[in-house]
């Protein structure tokens, strides 16, 4: 049994990581600040589903709900901490108490467009917050660290598919720049303080528990309710959509790799390596919902990239990563889940 700290563990990807780790017989501590980026009740449902606890409190107080929920679900193998990765005092208490074997760092302010409106907050959370974690890891000799990066670091890369050795110095959003920054700073902490690290560049993850603001979830909800969907550009933009089960496969194999190897610093793409256009994405949702979308055509938004496409050769060779879910299979699974969770 290993002892893991999962930051952002009540989020979309994080809750699936927690579920996997607990099923493997590990102890998991989640640190999450339940940021108001979206409804905290969604995150409570996420982590509740992950640990098999479905009684979600509802009062007039966010803090009261989260704290009472954390108390209810605490076990010998799981604990939820309501707090911020920038809170050095909290982290000191936590790392003194726990003997963590590994940190899986998924906490971040996400979203390209919101980062343009709030760049300083994104820098504070995504860069400073990550550095605070590394400083604590350095102090308490926790030297195994997985960090969530993003395909957004590639910007409007002219060469596809995107390879880890491509130059990524031309970010087009503050969010992307923060992720590139933490990759560079992560190498510093590896070289100076022997923190073994994998930086995982996720490519447009979707599936059950997906954030409600992300395109697939948002479009599904709008189409299902007969409302217009925002359609940016001419529909030729395309994404390498990666189903959550495949991402968890990549993360699980990353954990094993880090445990088994020393002196590690690697940046690795985790994608599906298949590209789906905006038009095809909407058509697939329409098919499985059996409803037509109402389109609101809009110009391309600042910070949006034209295409993402992962070269996953390195992940296959190093981790034996092997994504198996086609886009149609993934959308069908997501919509099955959505129909059971229409209140989210």
Looking at the chain, how many residues does it have?
344
Q: How far apart are CA 111 and CA 124, in angstroms?
A: 15
Catalytic-labelled residue, pool 20, 122, 154, 175: 175
Q: How far apart are CA 27 and CA 76, in angstroms?
A: 8
> What's the distance, CA 229 to chain centroid?
24
Q: Are 255 and 323 in contact (CB under 8 A)?
A: no
Active site residue 154: no
Q: How far is CA 223 from CA 69, 211, 284, in A?
A: 33, 17, 12
Q: How far apart are CA 13 and CA 148, in angstroms?
A: 10
Q: Are 185 and 267 in contact (CB under 8 A)?
A: no
Q: Are 180 and 210 in contact (CB under 8 A)?
A: no
Strand-pairing partners, residue 201, are 149, 269
Q: How far apart are CA 103 and CA 42, in angstroms?
A: 24
Specify the pairing of strand 27-32 against strand 3-7: parallel
Q: How far apart are CA 126 and CA 307, in angstroms?
A: 24
Catalytic residues: 175
């Amino acid at each position: 049994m290993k002892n893991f700290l999962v930051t952002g563990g009540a989020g979309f990807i994080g809750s699936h990581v927690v579920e996997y780790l607990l099923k493997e017989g590990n102890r998991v501590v989640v640190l999450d600040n339940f940021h108001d980026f979206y409804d905290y009740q969604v995150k409570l449902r996420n982590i509740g589903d992950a640990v098999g606890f479905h009684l979600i409190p509802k009062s007039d107080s966010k803090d009261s709900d989260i704290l009472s929920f954390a108390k209810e679900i605490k076990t010998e193998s799981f604990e939820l901490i309501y707090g911020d990765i920038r809170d050095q005092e909290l982290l000191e208490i936590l790392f003194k108490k726990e003997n963590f074997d590994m940190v899986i760092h998924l906490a971040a302010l996400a979203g390209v467009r919101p980062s343009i409106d709030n760049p300083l907050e994104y820098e504070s959370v995504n860069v400073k917050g990550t550095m605070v974690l590394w400083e604590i890891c350095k102090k308490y000799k926790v030297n195994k660290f997985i960090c969530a990066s993003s395909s957004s670091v590639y910007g409007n890369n002219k060469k596809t598919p995107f390879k880890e050795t491509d130059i990524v110095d031309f970010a087009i959003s503050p969010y992307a720049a923060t992720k590139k920054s933490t990759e560079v700073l992560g190498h510093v902490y590896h070289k100076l303080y022997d923190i073994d690290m994998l930086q995982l560049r996720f490519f447009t993850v979707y599936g059950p528990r997906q954030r409600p603001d992300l395109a697939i979830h948002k479009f599904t909800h709008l189409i299902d309710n007969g409302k217009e969907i925002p359609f940016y550009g001419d529909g030729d933009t395309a994404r390498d959509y990666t189903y959550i089960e495949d991402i968890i496969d990549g993360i699980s194999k990353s954990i094993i790799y880090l445990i088994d190897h020393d002196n590690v610093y690697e940046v690795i793409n985790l994608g599906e390596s298949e590209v789906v256009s905006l038009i095809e994405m909407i058509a697939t949702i329409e098919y499985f919902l059996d409803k037509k979308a109402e389109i609101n055509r809009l110009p391309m938004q600042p910070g949006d990239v034209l295409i993402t496409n992962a070269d996953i050769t390195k992940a296959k060779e190093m981790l034996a990563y092997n994504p198996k879910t086609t886009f149609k299979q993934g959308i069908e699974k997501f919509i099955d889940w959505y129909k059971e969770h229409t209140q989210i």
